[in-house]
A and B are shown apart, each in its own frame.
Chain A
Amino acid sequence: MMAGLAKRRPTKRRPIKRRLVQGAAGLAGLLLGGTLAATVWAQQLVADLSSHLIAITTGFTGTEVVLFGTTDGAGDVAIVVTGPRSPATVRRKQRVAGMWMNTDSLRFDQVPSFYTVAVSRPLDQLVGRPVLERHQLGLPQLQLPADSTLPPEELAAYRSALIRNKQRQGLYAISMGQVAFLGERLFRTNIFFPANVPTGLYNVEALLIRDGEVVSAQTTPLVVSKIGFSAEVSDFARNRPVVYGVAAVIGAIAAGWAAGAAFRRV
């Protein structure tokens, strides 16, 4: 069965000679054992993005990136998009003397700024729990380590509050996206990034699932970055904060003065 799968690789784009070589390699893989087979299998799925850079310009209102790809045969595809990880604090309010104020907090160490999953079929029909956890497929399986000695139910409350807040900001998907297959091998999905998408290096992971196992995976980087005027402003503010402050004050005085002078004649 393994050799058969390896021989049925994508055919249309590749010359017949190469196909034969690859087929032979697949056969060799079967003969030589699991390690070599794995390297061959890594190419069972090929995926790419319509763009590897999301440019946040002054007029940015969110954007959509198309992920497309092909498999070497029947199977299901899951796409996991993860934003850069950073620490985050969740605070809980309690009623103190009638007022709601922050009383407790929990710090999470590695929280992805963005997280969304798209699948071709509901995940529970495809794979078991261990696989979901290994690949962090779906919000319940997302690893959010926190350094705390809180009882599990408290921890769970903080965890779900983190996810809920992220979903409200539109940065964690509420439901899973749809990977659409065109025929048996070509697939595509649209990944939406809202206007408040955090900047940084994103990971787009495409997984090929067959018979309840992830048989192939490919990771594609995606950069979200400010470009043009907005990038210059934020670089200026970050790199030379005092000069930026002085410039902001001078600009404000000039603007106020100009407006005052303009209205003198009215």
Chain B
Amino acid sequence: MQVYLPIAEMSVNALLVLGMGWLVGFLSGMFGVGGGFLMTPLLIFIGVPPAIAVGTQANQLVAASVSGVLAHWRRGNVDVKLGVVMLAGGVVGTAVGVWIFGILQRLGQIDIAITLSYVFFLGTIGGMMLVESSRAILRRRAPTAKRGKLHRHIWLHGLPFKMRFQRSKLYISALLPAGIGVVGGMLVAIMGIGGGFLLVPAMIYLLNMPAGLVAGTSLFQIIFTTAAATLLQAATNQTVDAMLALLLLIGGVIGAQFGTKAGTRLRGETARMALSLIVVAVALKLAWDLFSRPDDLYTLTMGLR
């Protein structure tokens, strides 16, 4: 079934887009990541212009994270206080990101900047998670191994403005979650993604948050940053395709429900291992595209830009 996308000005197979939305929604519900880092390459692959892919899926991520948060909320897995502190940082980060985006756009290098940041962030985070989770799995299989310390104290925990987060049983500097929020907000603006793939490991490894609360809390924060990004993209670039977003979110919200259920049955380290494998695979694919000779060295852009 073909459907015409009014803003992207192209015709796509509705079932294909629904399926893509479902798959990404499933992963998003399972791991608590927005899935934007998967959706952007997928949309570009089926021929959607990159700018519209980025703008539209910010919109779709709003719906996916709302439905994801609801599922986590009912299980009591959202730390609202921590989420709000992260969000404060997220607003600052989004503003900074928009500013950087504008500079790169004027320099005519926004495409390669986006791809490079994808390769860098996905490669680094994915690699780190892969090493960590495989170690955790090995430790589990070797019961004689020594149990590590419950809480490792590093310099980050010595920062000022300490705040108590009862829900997460944490007493840490408010600068930590706010700083994570700043980076997340920048990613929303520059890469057009929720930033969950960065927020989740940061919350696990830097904040030492209980793993059960991480997904719900990061999704809670992502609702607001993606909503801001949608507004910004629609108002300034007119790159939000409501039809495409509708198809993606129908698939996405359904997939997210299944994903959340599947996620509760998954062990923490197994889930992290699976997520890190996907992240690394996407990073390798993007790096390959960056370094291999393109079929055509010339590209065409209609219009003034």
Binding site for B on A (CB under 8 A): 56-62, 86-95, 98-102, 105, 111, 113, 157-158, 161-162, 164-166, 168, 195-196, 198-199, 226, 229-231, 233-234, 237-238, 241-242, 244-249, 251-253, 255-261, 263-264, 266
Chain A residues near B246: list those with CB within 8 A.
251, 255
List B56-79 residues whose CB lies under 8 Å from chain A: 59-60, 62-71, 74
Best-buried of A58, A87, A255 by chain B (most CB within 10 Å):
A255
Q: Nearest chain B CB to A230's CB is how many angstroms away?
A: 4
A-B CB contacts (within 8 Å), total count = 199
Contact status of A244 and B112, CB under 8 A, knowing A93-B294, A166-B300, A253-B66: no
A121 to B263 Cα, complex, angstroms: 66
Chain B residues near A94: list those with CB within 8 A.
297
A195 to B62 Cα, complex, angstroms: 29
B137 at the interface (CB under 8 A from A): no
Contact of A255 with B298 in the complex, beta carbons under 8 Å = no
Q: Nearest chain A CB to B5's CB is how many angstroms away?
A: 8
Contact of A251 with B299 in the complex, beta carbons under 8 Å = no
Interface string of B1-26 (1 = CB under 8 A from A): 01111110111000000000000000
Best-buried of B65, B240, B254, B302 by chain A (most CB within 10 Å):
B302
Q: Nearest chain B CB to A156's CB is how many angstroms away?
A: 12
A256 to B25 Cα, complex, angstroms: 11
A102 to B104 Cα, complex, angstroms: 13
Number of chain B interface residues as a range: 35 or more
Contact of A253 with B63 in the complex, beta carbons under 8 Å = yes
A260 to B299 Cα, complex, angstroms: 42
Q: Is the interface of B mostly helix, strand, loop or mixed?
A: helix
6 interchain pairs (CB within 8 A)? A61-B11, A105-B108, A165-B299, A241-B235, A252-B230, A256-B66
Given A58, A88, A90, A98, which contacts B4 in the complex, CB threshold below 8 Å?
A58
Contact of B298 with A256 in the complex, beta carbons under 8 Å = no
A62 to B7 Cα, complex, angstroms: 17
Binding site for A on B (CB under 8 A): 2-7, 9-11, 59-60, 62-71, 74, 108-109, 111-112, 116, 223, 227, 230-236, 238, 240, 242-243, 245-246, 249-250, 253-254, 256-257, 290-294, 296-305
A57 to B2 Cα, complex, angstroms: 11
Contact of B298 with A59 in the complex, beta carbons under 8 Å = no
Chain B residues near A164: list those with CB within 8 A.
296, 298
Q: Nearest chain A CB to B17's CB is how many angstroms away?
A: 14
Contact status of A241 and B67, CB under 8 A, knowing A92-B297, A99-B112, A252-B62: no
Given B63, B257, B291, B305, which contacts A255 in the complex, CB threshold below 8 Å?
B63
Chain A residues near B240: list those with CB within 8 A.
237, 244-245, 248
Chain A residues near B250: list those with CB within 8 A.
255
Chain B residues near A161: list those with CB within 8 A.
296-298, 300
Contact of A256 with B300 in the complex, beta carbons under 8 Å = no
- Name the CB-closest residue of B to A263: B257
Q: Nearest chain A CB to B134's CB is how many angstroms away?
A: 29
Contact status of A237 and B70, CB under 8 A, knowing A248-B59, A248-B240: no
Given B64, B238, B253, B257, which contacts A241 in the complex, CB threshold below 8 Å?
B238
Chain A residues near B74: list those with CB within 8 A.
264
A62 to B246 Cα, complex, angstroms: 22
